[in-house]
Structure 1
């Protein structure tokens, strides 16, 4: 499995649902919280993202928002 990165922020229901989905399906991921690590906010803005969660993986296009239909592609 390629490295999965989830960009999130505090008090974000879609972020919580995305992380829960990945955990329930045993998909390992690295969380990058833009409230706790503000340097990642600039990274997201440079790439044109305006909301979180953003799920990135080298094998597919970024997923913005809670999208179980797209997240299932990450499940082995």
Structure 2
């Protein structure tokens, strides 16, 4: 749902699939994340899970 939201609102993103690229799973674990998706905007805190309220701010 997060990916769909980003696409529908024309928010550019780079996707890393933890199943195809396990190094990203390790990176997320090292940073303390316990669930996905994790959206890491450049100028704000990470967004964990489907959070349309937080994702909306990226569209502005």
| TM-score of the superposed pair, with normalisation by structure 1 | 0.77
> What's 1:50 paired with?
34
Distance of 2:57 and 2:16 partners within structure 1: 21
Structure with bigger helix share is: 2
**Structure 1 unaligned regions, length at least 5:** 1-16
Q: Which runs of 5 or more residues in structure 2 are unaligned?
A: none
- Name the structure, 1 or 2, with higher relative contact order (CA <8 Å, separation 6+): 1
Give the number of aligned pairs.
60
Give the structure with the larger strand fraction. 1
Runs of 4+ in 1 over 3 A off after TM superposition: none
RMSD of aligned alpha carbons: 0.6
